[in-house]
Amino acid sequence: MAEETRTAPDRASHAALDRERLRGLLAEILDVDVAQISDQAHFVDDLGVDSLMALEITVRLEAEFPVKLAEEELTQLATLDDTYALLDAKLRAAS
């Protein structure tokens, strides 16, 4: 029974991954308006993300979705598109 409980949220989390949900989460973390998080807005160059904010993004993504992000993957998270693609790939691999 416990395994069923654990497996169901994993599937639900992947099904619930959509670009707008991710955009809203990033806007909340960065304390910016959702409109500022365009698909190609660069986190560092356009949104002023520093290393502490990047760490907060990582922690929140790992808390929100059933993924673990390796340190070398963090450099891939430069835009919403990049973040979505990485999360989608990891969630698909886990299902």
Q: Would you please indicate which residues are annotated as catalytic (active-site) residues?
A: 50
How far is 12 from 34, CA to CA, in rounded Å? 24
How far is 20 from 4, CA to CA, in rounded Å? 28
How far is 69 from 85, CA to CA, in rounded Å? 13
Residue ranges of the alpha helices (H) in 1-95? 2-16, 19-30, 51-64, 71-74, 80-94
Distance of CA 56 to the CA centre of its chain: 11
